Structure 1
Amino acid sequence: MSQFAFGSGNMWGYQTQDANGNTIANITPLKFGEVQDVGIDISRDVKLLYGQLQMPAAVGGGKMKIDVKAKFARIAGRVFSDLFFGQTMTGGTLTGVQNDTTGASIPSSPYTVTVVPPSSGTWSRDLGVVDSNGVSYVRVASAPATGQYSVAAGVYTFAAADTGKQVFISYAYSATAAGAKAMTLQSLPMGYVPTFGMDLALGFGGKQMNWRFPNCVASKLSVDPKQDDFTENSLDISVFADAAGIVGYVYTSE
């Protein structure tokens, strides 16, 4: 029976060296969740030798490359960190954003609105105030006039003349969350990049075609939010040979 493949398959990546060139002692495979699309492009340059005739007398192979592009939906900070940035992640702290869509009325004296971050979090940064018409209030250091506000530690102060007006307050906050991950992106010296391996398994009718590339570098990471659809992430990957000249492996059931 002939072999076919159906669907986008299952894909894993695993960092083998961090961006500083340190070998990873305990390699941790990471599965790409909800893979949408994978493309493997294998191309080579060809060199044509001509004599006095119109057609080539010989054709030789030149440079060759393997490029992989994977689109996936599941958001996993470790995939971004291990396979693209190669930098350290810390766990347990969530930095969230509260985009106010319900609004609050400015009360009478002392004309303040105190925000309450979710998950018993702590206010960390102001992201602005708008009125019911979508007009932005202007932040000032103190003593706000009409259409202005000041803020300290999550307490927003408005002008007495704005009492009763509806305002929508947005802000950032931090909270403790067991599954949360945080990464500080640093500018590294030229040439510093993490390396990783990847496996792609494609199956149909009880048969498999598996691709394995032990030496990869990611050249591009894209995160594409959409207005009315799920966000897709994509990773562009370049494959290279090891010291023995091995680029990868292909296995088929046939």
Structure 2
Amino acid sequence: MINFGSGYLYGISSATNSTPRKFGTLQDVTFDFTFTTKELYGQQSFAVDVRRGEGKFTGKAKFANISGGLVNDIFFGQNATPGLILSVIGELGNIPAATPYTVTVVNAATFDTDLGVVYAATGLPFTKVISNPATGQYAEASGVYTFSAGDAGIPVLIDYLYTTATGGTRIALTNQIMGTTPTFMAIFTAHVGPKVATLKLNQCTSTKLSFATKLEDYAIPEMDFSIMVDSSNTLGWISFAD
């Protein structure tokens, strides 16, 4: 059969009763079989016999739709909880004309991390201090920003992070012991008309996850993985329509 298009790729974590994860907006998938070889030579230039040695089976997938569940189950295999860490870029705040010279951000109740303050009119940055800020400085505590009398009445733009308990997935990236290896089953299938090609790989582990952004282009994460035999000494199955 011939093949056209990227096909479909799924990963299923080896953890008990795991949810199948589809690689969304799949761009391309590559599978590579490679072997080391040993050549036997006589007096002539070319080998009289060649034998295979160690084999290696690897895969690579590029996909545009990023899923927290997929990334955690297939790559990190760590503790995932519902929720999000969200960013606010350039929230407008007006420093009061009279004391106290404080600005409380909209999401102060679940404030996470300060990312800086700039003058709204010029874009020049403020300098962060612990307390008692002078002109051009600020202090922050739990989403409450304190400025000096020298900046009274001036609009500012504030960047920060805050959290929510719903809407996505948060993954705790803990320092795991060497040898900890999340594994998953990979299924690739491609349809061309009525014909179907399928590759089922019983045990894989992801070896690399790349995420690159680019001006005026889409981010296309890329995941590399290695395929190994399972407890039955089987890589998996491959099926082609003739």
Band the TM-score falls in, shorter-chain normalisation:
over 0.9
Contact 1:84 1:193 in 2 (8 A): no
Quote the residue 1:68 is aligned against.
59
After superposition, where does 1:119-134 map in structure 2 within 5 Å? 122-131=110-119, 132-134=121-123
Which of these residues, 12, 19, 22, is aligned with residue 28 of structure 1? 19
Distance 2:183 2:112 in 1: 35
Contact 2:93–2:105 (Cα < 8 Å) also in 1: no
Deviation at 1:246, TM superposition (A): 1.2
The equivalent residue for 1:94 is 84
Once superposed, what is the RMSD of the aligned Cα atoms? 1.6
- Verify: 1:6 aligned to 2:7, yes or no: no
Cα contact 1:221–1:234 (8 A) shared by 2: yes
Structure 2: distance between partners of 1:86 and 1:125 = 26
Shift of 1:50: 0.4
| Structure 2: runs of 5+ lacking an equivalent | none
> What is the rounded CA distance, in whole Å, between the counterparts of 1:220 and 1:251 in structure 2?
27
Q: Deviations over 1:97-152 (max 9, x none)?
A: 1111x6333221122222102xx962222111112333221111222111001122
Q: Report the count of equivalent residues.
A: 240
Secondary structure of 1:84 counterpart: helix
Counterpart among 106, 112, 135 of residue 116 in structure 1:
106
Residue 73 of structure 1 aligns to a residue in which SS? strand
TM-score normalized with structure 2 length: 0.93
Equivalent position amino acid for 1:219 in 2:
T
| Residue 162 of structure 2 is aligned to residue 162 of structure 1 | no
- Could you list the runs of 5+ residues in structure 1 that have no partner in the other structure? 17-23
* TM-score between the two structures when normalised by the length of structure 1: 0.89
C-alpha distance in 2, partners of 1:83/1:140?
A: 42
Q: Residue 14 of structure 1: CA displacement?
A: 0.5
Q: Which residue of the partner structure matches residue 96 of structure 2?
A: 107
Q: Tell whether the 8 Å contact from 1:129 to 1:167 is kept in structure 2 after alignment.
A: yes
| C-alpha distance after superposition, 1:193-235 (max 9, x if no partner) | 1111100011112111111111101000111222222221111
Q: State, as a whole percentage, how many aligned pairs show the same letter.
A: 38
How many Å separate the matches in 1 of 2:165 and 2:44? Answer: 75
**Matching residue within 144, 152, 161 for 1:172:** 161
Quote the residue 1:136 is aligned against. Answer: 125
Aligned to 1:45: 36
Q: Which runs of 4+ in 1 moved over 3 A?
A: 102-105
Q: Which residue of the partner structure matches residue 235 of structure 2?
A: 247
Task: Name the CA distance, whole Å, in 2 between partners of 1:164 and 1:108.
Answer: 4
Q: Is the 8 A contact 1:121 1:175 kept in 2?
A: no
- State how far apart, in whole Å, the 1-side matches of 2:151 and 2:239 are: 70
Aligned position for 2:186: 198
Question: Deviation per CA, 1:147-185, whole angstroms, max 9, x where unpaired?
Answer: 0011222221111111233321111112232x3211111
1:57, CA displacement in angstroms? 1.2
**3-state DSSP class of the match of 2:84?**
strand
Question: Do structure 1's residue 186 and structure 2's residue 174 form an aligned pair?
Answer: yes
In the alignment, is residue 228 of structure 1 matched against residue 216 of structure 2?
Answer: yes
Structure 1 residue 243, shift from structure 2 partner: 3.2
